[in-house]
Amino acid sequence: MKLSAALLLATGVAFASAQTNFTGDILKGYPVIEYLDLNDVPANTISRYWISAAEAQGGLPYFVPILVARGSEGSLETGRRLSLSASIHGDELNGIPVVQRVFAALGDVVSSGNFNGTIIGIPTTNPNGNIHNQRNFYSSSSNGFLTNLNRVFPGASIADGGSIADSYAYTIWNSVWANSSNADIAVDFHTLSTGSIGPLWAYADFRLDGVQRLAELAQPDHIKIDPGEPGSIETTWVDFGVPAITLEIGPAKNWNQTLIKRSEEFIWRLLDDLAMLPGNYTAPPETVSIGLENTYKGTNFSYVSVSQSGWVQMDVVPLQDVEEGQSVGTLFNSWGDVIENLTAPVAGRVHTVRVDAAAEQGAGVLDLLYNATST
């Protein structure tokens, strides 16, 4: 019943538009698409789709779940289009519930016919990384490669010589985000890599209009103002003229409810700022925001790494101010001897701290946020 209704909907919609791109497959109750044409998504509805962004060895598709909240009929053209993506790094999980909870809470306002615009949500942008409990995208070619997907956007098709990882990014970029035209503002959620702790913070390229506003609406603890990272989702949006930030939500792996709530709250402030919600709408999450007066902005990171392999004990915590030369931690060998005294290279604010005691030579154990003065 459910299946045939979905099929009817899929074929009916496909008939109505030349661009439409339902494959006809239904997976776990939701249609599989090859291309997201927002005109074919029903108004006043939250829709769920799958897209196969690439195929694993043997032909098994890497299906990516896509949520689309389409507002009132005309608001596809007149309202704003927001992209919310999470977990392009497969061990970075705090953004997943942010996207999920925002969509869950939007249900009533969308079905009431008063939602003004469109949101495309991808809660798990890299299921391959999730499967491997791994930041990167694993490809089985040769004896295996790991690719950081957040360095290969907008990707490259196989026809253009792309690898499986390049073509995976290409599908997300071109078939979900329509080569940027499906969104005019974007947030990509990350966390730190496994093994470190840190606050709520944003990477933001203030050179593009709209980015500073976006970063400040997040009311993060830190804003790293920088020109971005080529191939990242954030910087690809910015290169296409779409204001975007990377929002980093604390540590990998553990769902930190405090930071998740602050991130959800940011999205409600953003929806309000973009006039996507009716004026009488009360956002659901309880208020945990801390305000912009606590936001520390900096343009540079300074890194402390260990020069030998050993066991590290760090003595500073995120958001603590340190002086140049201040002791920040100690590295021990397996006998328990101190083999390195770690000190802050510059004065700044503690950004991230390693909590995984096993530190190999060259491993970063501390990042400080500061403004380098040009000399």
Ligand X SMILES: *[C@@H]1O[C@H](CO)[C@@H](O)[C@H](O)[C@H]1NC(C)=O
Which has the closest alpha carbon to 274: 212, 217, 191?
217
Query: How far, in Å, CA of 188 to CA of 151, rounded?
Result: 13
- Count the helices and strands in the chain (H runs, E runs): 8, 22
Whether 171 contacts 163, CB under 8 Å: no
Cβ proximity to ligand X: between 122 and 259 the closer is 259
351 is a contact residue toward Zn ion (CB under 5 A): no
Which has the closest alpha carbon to 203: 233, 229, 223?
223
Taking the complex as a whole, the smallest distance from the CB of residue 140 to ligand X amounts, in Å, to 25
Applying CB under 6 A, among 258, 294, 307, 333 the residue interacting with ligand X is: 258
275 is a contact residue toward ligand X (CB under 6 A): yes
Applying CB under 6 A, among 90, 123, 195, 199 the residue interacting with ligand X is: 199
Site for ligand X in 124-163 (CB under 6 A): none
Q: What are all long-range contacts of 282-290, with beta carbons under 8 Å and residues at least 24 apart?
A: 283/105, 284/105, 285/101, 285/105, 285/261, 286/261, 288/258, 288/261, 288/262, 289/219, 289/262, 289/265, 290/219, 290/221, 290/262
Cβ proximity to ligand X: between 136 and 260 the closer is 260
Dihedral sign of CA atoms 68, 194, 364, 322 in order? positive
280 is a contact residue toward ligand X (CB under 6 A): yes
Burial level of 305, CB count in 10 A (0-12/13-18/19+)? middle
256 is a contact residue toward ligand X (CB under 6 A): yes
Query: How far, in Å, CA of 325 to CA of 302, rounded?
Result: 13
Taking the complex as a whole, the smallest distance from the CB of residue 124 to Zn ion amounts, in Å, to 13
Bridge-based pairing state of the strands 45-56 and 30-33: parallel
Site for Zn ion in 71-90 (CB under 5 A): 89
Cβ proximity to ligand X: between 136 and 259 the closer is 259
Q: Which DSSP state fits 285?
A: S
Stretch that binds ligand X, among 38-46, 78-86, 142-150, 307-315 (CB under 6 A): 78-86
Site for ligand X in 97-126 (CB under 6 A): 114, 116-117
Taking the complex as a whole, the smallest distance from the CB of residue 190 to Zn ion amounts, in Å, to 3
Cβ proximity to ligand X: between 226 and 229 the closer is 226
255 is a contact residue toward ligand X (CB under 6 A): no
224 is a contact residue toward Zn ion (CB under 5 A): no
Residue 341 corresponds to which amino acid?
Answer: N
Q: Nearest-CB residue to Zn ion?
A: 190
Applying CB under 6 A, among 149, 192, 215, 259 the residue interacting with ligand X is: 259
Identify the helix (H) or strand (E) that includes residue 171.
helix 164-171
Applying CB under 5 A, among 70, 81, 190, 261 the residue interacting with Zn ion is: 190
339 is a contact residue toward ligand X (CB under 6 A): yes
Number of residues lying near ligand X (CB under 6 A): 36
Distance between first and last Cα of the chain: 70
Taking the complex as a whole, the smallest distance from the CB of residue 150 to Zn ion amounts, in Å, to 6
Cβ proximity to ligand X: between 35 and 145 the closer is 35
Taking the complex as a whole, the smallest distance from the CB of residue 143 to ligand X amounts, in Å, to 31
Whether 157 contacts 236, CB under 8 Å: no
Cβ proximity to ligand X: between 78 and 111 the closer is 78
Cβ proximity to Zn ion: between 114 and 126 the closer is 126
Query: How far, in Å, CA of 166 to CA of 187, rounded?
Result: 21
Bridge-based pairing state of the strands 137-139 and 145-147: antiparallel
Residue labelled with tokens 């942010």: 98
Q: Give the footprint of Zn ion on this chain (CB under 5 A).
A: 89, 92, 190
Q: Give the footprint of ligand X on this chain (CB under 6 A).
A: 21, 23, 34-35, 78-80, 114, 116-117, 174, 179, 199, 225-227, 250, 254, 256, 258-259, 274-275, 278, 280, 296-300, 338-341, 371-372
